Structure 1
Amino acid sequence: MNLLSVGASYRTADVATLERIVIADDAVPGVLEKLVAQPFVGEAVVLSTCNRVEIYAAVNTFHGGLGDVCNVLSEVSGIPATELAGHLYVHYDEAAVLHSFKVSSGLDSMVVGESQILGQLRDAYHAATEADTAGRLLHELMQQALRVGKRAHSETGIDRAGQSVVTAALDVAEAELGDLTGRRALVIGAGAMGALSVATLTRAGVGPLRITNRSAARAERLAEAYGAVAVPYDELDAALREADLVVSATASTEPVLTRARLEAAAPLVVLDLAVPRDVAADVIDVPGVTVIDIDSLAATRRSLPAAAETAAVEQIVSSEVEHFLGWLRGADIAPTVAALRTRAEDVVSAELRKLYSRRSEFTEEQRADVSRTLHRVVQQLLHSPTVRVRQLAAEPGGDQYAALLRELFDLDVPHATPANAVPEIGGQA
């Protein structure tokens, strides 16, 4: 099996495209099931956030696996494969490992260094584990990616400013409203992004703060935790009219904030952090209403960490990639070593059968003694070479040792077909 990652993000697609590709939480198990049902896909993890959708897969062949993943993405998004390809980026084997570690460490985030992606990746891994679509390869990749992310945030100052998509959006909002301290704010949605928004607004001194959600119980729990006020969802229009700043982060598939609704609430600054968008497309020219969405944030890319902090994280990522590749090379040689031991045992068993057919006078006890002795001799002969070849295989260029063993001993070991080159099928990431 080989690693493959295919995705689209704020770097390669605008919000209009991302909201067609995005995979809702309740749809993830079905997509995972579709992926592993494909002929060339053995394992799968789906990461879907407000600004990226990525599939991590263990595949038998590059081209077959890429075709399978793209077909599933096309099916679930309703976007023709030829159109979708223009927004996708592809990483294979070592490049897939590097990309996953950059994602988990925040280097590939819209707000570089933000730590929210670490929780989102953990949720994606948990969903794959629950659906039983993460095998040995993706279990190892996800666990190491999470560890790399934790190292990046604990050993460097890349997130010292506490940046997130929400803080970046508030920076833009402050340019519109001025000092946000004491501004009346409304958060629509009490999920993960809504909770992050409430926490960030509270730290920024924004308030009074109100929260509304279709599930009143969730809004009340969140409001109680931060000293805010929960508002019934059917009172949304009145709450909008009383707010200066609105953060909308629901999981609705239809716009929550329509043109008529926002016209009645103007003047207002709206931070639309939802994908699909919560603000209707025709709101763009409503007088007195400023909408800041994911596209706006991608254009600003504010508050980048210091170059030294970014370089420190890149060094961690680089060393961890090499460590993972060493594990991968060691894992790749394991079937070859197992095949060699099986071949040796088969040879011993065949020779013992010949011996016993010639020497019928051997008792059962004598046969057992001879068998144990020969098997022990073979095991001792193979022990040091197989331990050493595992060590050598874990080093750079170590994949040659598995090939040499297969050639020398004529071992038939199924293995994945590598791609000579990974073609660019669309966006860059």
Structure 2
Amino acid sequence: MSVLVVGLSHRTAPVALLERVSVSGDSLVKLLQDVHRDAHVVEAMIVSTCNRVEVYVEVDRFHAAVTSISWLLSTHSGVSMDELAAHLYVHYEDRAIEHLFSVGSGLDSMVLGEGQILGQVRSALRLAQQQGTLGPTLNELVQQALRVGKRSHTETGIDRAGASLVGVGLTLAERALGPLEGMRALVVGAGSMSALSAATLQRAGLTDIVVVNRTHERAVRLAQTVGGRAAEFDDLERELARADLVISCTGATDVVITADMVTPHRMFILDLALPHDVDLAVRRLPGVTLVDLESMQESGADASTDDGGRAEAVSSVRGIVAEEVAAYLSAERAARVTPTVVALRSKAAQVVETELERFAARLPELDGRVRAEVTQTVRRVVDKLLHEPTVRVKQLAESPAGDHYAEALRELFNLDPKVPEAVRRIETIDVEQGRNTEPSKKEAGL
């Protein structure tokens, strides 16, 4: 079984196409379930954001799985295979792991180092867990990617090297409007991106912040966190007429702000939604500046970052990713031999018990204390004989050809091939039920 990634992002596709392929809510659940039902897919997870749609799977056949997943992306989005194929990328095995770690670290984001991607990957993981499409392989891989991302943000300046999308948007707003302090801001939506927007506005010194959302209670809660006020969704048009700066990011599938709703005046609108929240016709209104994800992508909005600091941060994060990928692959190869080690020690234990029973039958009159000492001695001898080879095979298993050592161990000791597979199945069940799957030191021969 191997890990495969099939997807497209802002690096390979225009925002307009990403908007058509992006899925959320029930549509995301349906796509995830359809991918998981494919005959060649064992585990599945989908990361779908405004900047990327990526399908992560564990598969038994590479080409067949790539074909199936590509077809499902085409079918669910309505984008033809001919159009979609030109923008898809595929990563397999080591490259798939490196890609996920890079994504989690912010190296692959539209705005370098933005931290929101960690929350998005975490949400994708949670959804896959809820839908039962995740198993031990992807679960451990994604958990490790989250740890790598957190480490990258903690140990380097990657967060400072690239501001968040909201921060970049505010920089563009200042270019259009001048200093933002004292201006009136309107946040449309109350989800995670809207919360980030409101908090960023507050840190930028804006004190007059209004939040509008279809569910008024959520607008109230968000407004309270930034010392702003909430307005009813029916009052959106009136609030637009009063606002200097508008940030919109809802989960709506249709346009939320039309040109008819906007009274022309000097204002800046940042549309961070996918699909678009704001009608593109708004751009033609006098005094109004509309910036969306596509225009940010075209302008390279994060290029203003200090090149020296950014280069150093990127180099540091790439070093962390390379180190973590190597460690993950080494640990994965070592883990593959564990079921074989467990099977060997199990077979040895059976042999010991059989011989001790035979010994006891031949000398029934033997003193109990002597019998216990003999039993302990025999077990100790077997443990010592097996200790070195089992430790050594685990070390050797960390090399690229590690699987061959486990195979040699099975051949040398004539181990039942069903036993290691049974151990793997138990580990799989344990992971799915949240139990500890680390073998004991005795089982691992340590």
TM-score (norm 2): 0.81
Residue pair 2:209, 2:229 contacting (<8 A) in 1 also: yes
1:17-56 correspondence runs (5 A): 17-56=17-56
CA deviation profile, 1:88-143 (whole Å, cap 9, x unmatched): 11111111111111111111111111111111111111111222222111111111
Residue pair 2:186, 2:247 contacting (<8 A) in 1 also: yes
1:69 counterpart letter in structure 2? I
Deviation at 1:224, TM superposition (A): 1.0
Residue pair 1:270, 1:291 contacting (<8 A) in 2 also: yes
Secondary structure, aligned partner of 1:275: coil
Residue pair 2:161, 2:313 contacting (<8 A) in 1 also: no
The aligned counterpart of 1:275 is 274
The aligned counterpart of 1:148 is 148
Which is further off, 281-290 or 239-248? 281-290
The aligned counterpart of 1:419 is none
For the residues of structure 2 that align with 1:343 and 1:41, how far apart are their CA atoms? 33
User: Relative contact order: is structure 1 or structure 2 higher (C-alpha 8 Å, sep ≥ 6)?
Assistant: 1
Secondary structure, aligned partner of 1:276: coil
Aligned residues: CA RMSD? 3.2
For the residues of structure 2 that align with 1:86 and 1:408, how far apart are their CA atoms? 50
Secondary structure, aligned partner of 2:181: coil
Residue pair 2:16, 2:294 contacting (<8 A) in 1 also: no
Secondary structure, aligned partner of 1:55: strand
Which is further off, 399-408 or 373-382? 373-382
Residue pair 1:194, 1:248 contacting (<8 A) in 2 also: yes
Deviation at 1:155, TM superposition (A): 1.3
Call closer, same or farther: CA 1:383–1:175 in 2, change over 3 Å. Answer: same
Determine if the alignment matches structure 1 residue 330 to structure 2 residue 334: yes
Determine if the alignment matches structure 1 residue 122 to structure 2 residue 122: yes
The aligned counterpart of 2:390 is 386
For the residues of structure 1 that align with 2:321 and 2:301, how far apart are their CA atoms? 22
Secondary structure, aligned partner of 2:206: coil
Determine if the alignment matches structure 1 residue 309 to structure 2 residue 313: yes
For the residues of structure 2 that align with 1:69 and 1:337, how far apart are their CA atoms? 36
1:17-416 correspondence runs (5 A): 17-160=17-160, 163-262=163-262, 264-299=263-298, 300-302=300-302, 303-304=304-305, 305-337=309-341, 382-402=386-406, 404-405=408-409
Call closer, same or farther: CA 1:71–1:364 in 2, change over 3 Å. Answer: farther
CA deviation profile, 1:39-84 (whole Å, cap 9, x unmatched): 1111111111121111111111211222232222222212222321
Secondary structure, aligned partner of 1:306: helix
Which is further off, 204-213 or 395-404? 395-404
Call closer, same or farther: CA 1:75–1:334 in 2, change over 3 Å. Answer: farther
For the residues of structure 2 that align with 1:4 and 1:130, how far apart are their CA atoms? 21
CA deviation profile, 1:342-400 (whole Å, cap 9, x unmatched): 88899x79x99xxx9xxxx99999xxx9xx99999887755532332122111344344
The aligned counterpart of 1:426 is none
Residue pair 2:247, 2:270 contacting (<8 A) in 1 also: yes
Residue pair 2:45, 2:133 contacting (<8 A) in 1 also: yes
Which is further off, 190-199 or 41-50? 41-50
Identity %: 48
Secondary structure, aligned partner of 2:210: strand
Which is further off, 83-92 or 245-254? 83-92
For the residues of structure 2 that align with 1:381 and 1:80, how far apart are their CA atoms? 62
Residue pair 2:112, 2:162 contacting (<8 A) in 1 also: no
Which is further off, 388-397 or 45-54? 388-397
The aligned counterpart of 1:418 is none
Secondary structure, aligned partner of 1:210: strand
Secondary structure, aligned partner of 1:87: coil
| Residue-pair matches, total | 406
2:294 counterpart letter in structure 1? D
Call closer, same or farther: CA 1:404–1:239 in 2, change over 3 Å. Answer: same
TM-score (norm 1): 0.84
The aligned counterpart of 1:422 is none
For the residues of structure 1 that align with 2:181 and 2:108, how far apart are their CA atoms? 31
For the residues of structure 1 that align with 2:280 and 2:364, how far apart are their CA atoms? 85
1:324 counterpart letter in structure 2? Y
For the residues of structure 2 that align with 1:250 and 1:266, how far apart are their CA atoms? 23
Deviation at 1:244, TM superposition (A): 1.4
Q: Mind listing any 5+ residue stretches in structure 1 that lack a counterpart?
A: 416-429
1:74 counterpart letter in structure 2? S
Q: Mind listing any 5+ residue stretches in structure 2 that lack a counterpart?
A: 366-371, 422-446
